[in-house]
Chain A
């Protein structure tokens, strides 16, 4: 069995060679960020869960098609993004079973404690969170995809370009218009998103 420090790419190669434990390692590493990515695009927990499961299924099925020199995360996000797009068009059936919820991801950073944790500030923050979520919902899908991949998945523009299948300049353009639309949405509701009245 490969060590937990084995790279994603080596795990895929091992999977291709028949080591199915490698898939379990990949799942453990990526199930949380993948679910978050799908949820932010679909805004639906059950759909995001299905996409998450199906993505790993396809990783298993298509491991032989994983190209050397390719990044696993890029490939995985590409699969997930296509599934998210397809999800909106039709339903799918899944074969992996979800056993429970709640994960302790050691990689996930603990959210920074807000400087001002007063109830009023927390209420304000919750309102802004709701506004931001609504603003994301109103974005065109291609802009939302870029925003999520960039801000929440931390991918570089060239990786996002590869995942979305669009030129890098197009990705940056979508990012620009997405951020601008987000700003306008918040300002139209009297806030800049960080607690200042506009």
Chain B
């Protein structure tokens, strides 16, 4: 018989919950089986470790029951609640009917008459104008006078400075290029002149009417 089948009984014995009918069999087995004796000793050590150094548990929070929940109604309680609701409904209906048939009370002056219509129109017009001005201001920031906005003035100055420097550089570049072109033309002119002279010389030297020096 494998010792594995004794595991549960060893645990029950360890905790004093063994079946009395098994006690003799368990004790007899332990007297004969060194493995199970070692096993139960190991279980006892593990249990001792748990008891000697149990994991710490933080302080438990205080739980407070807030308010009362509606209890379920049944039986006489339900009847009483229903009767009370019906009575209340009847009373409300009776009162409403009485009031419906009661003579009209003296009308109180309407609240609207306390407001000056002209004043109200003036206020609305002023708010509308302010709103439109604000919309115009937000929708068209470019039309604003930069002088009134230091940020724009600074930006304008920076743009102008950049434009000035760019223009100056453009001119310098143009001058350089133009100079190179002119120089090239001068050289070309010189070459053309030299070529013309050479051609003339050849033409003269080949003419039999001219005697070579």
Binds B, one of A4-12, A72-80, A83-91, A175-183: A175-183
A119 within 8 A of partner (CB): no
Contact of B63 among A27, A43, A183, A193 (CB under 8 A): A27
Contact of A36 among B60, B65, B68 (CB under 8 A): B60
Map CB proximity to B onto A107-119 as digits: 1 under 8 Å, 0 otherwise: 0000000000000
Check if B43 sits within 8 Å of A180, measured CB to CB.
yes
Interface residue count for B (Cβ, 8 Å)? 36
A166 CB to closest chain B CB, in angstroms? 13
> Complex Cα distance A127/B30, Å?
33
CB-nearest residue of chain B to A195: B52
Check if A179 sits within 8 Å of B43, measured CB to CB.
yes
> Complex Cα distance A53/B101, Å?
56
CB-nearest residue of chain B to A191: B49
Q: Give the residues from 24 to 69 in chain B that come closer than 8 angstroms, CB to CB, to chain A.
A: 39, 42-43, 45-66, 68-69
Check if A128 sits within 8 Å of B52, measured CB to CB.
yes
B17 within 8 A of partner (CB): yes
Contact of B52 among A102, A157, A194 (CB under 8 A): A194
B153 within 8 A of partner (CB): no
> Complex Cα distance A40/B54, Å?
10
Check if B63 sits within 8 Å of A96, measured CB to CB.
yes
Check if A136 sits within 8 Å of B55, measured CB to CB.
yes
A74 CB to closest chain B CB, in angstroms? 16
> Complex Cα distance A96/B69, Å?
12
B71 CB to closest chain A CB, in angstroms? 4
Map CB proximity to B onto A1-40 as digits: 1 under 8 Å, 0 otherwise: 0000000000000000010100110010001101110011
Interface bin, chain A: 35 or more
Map CB proximity to B onto A86-100 as digits: 1 under 8 Å, 0 otherwise: 000000000111111
Question: Quick one: given A129-B54, A172-B12, A193-B53, are A182 and B65 in contact (CB under 8 Å)?
Answer: no
A124 CB to closest chain B CB, in angstroms? 9
Check if B51 sits within 8 Å of A151, measured CB to CB.
yes
B54 CB to closest chain A CB, in angstroms? 7
CB-nearest residue of chain B to A36: B57
Contacts of A27 in B (CB 8 A): 63, 65
Question: Quick one: given A179-B47, A186-B49, are A101 and B59 in contact (CB under 8 Å)?
Answer: yes
Contact of B54 among A99, A152, A194 (CB under 8 A): A152
CB-nearest residue of chain A to B42: A183
Contacts of A24 in B (CB 8 A): 65
Chain A to chain B: the 7 pairs with minimum beta-carbon distance, closest first: A193-B49, A35-B60, A129-B53, A183-B46, A133-B55, A172-B8, A128-B53
13 contacts between A and B (CB under 8 A): A32-B60, A100-B61, A126-B53, A128-B49, A129-B55, A129-B56, A131-B53, A151-B47, A172-B8, A173-B7, A194-B48, A194-B49, A194-B52
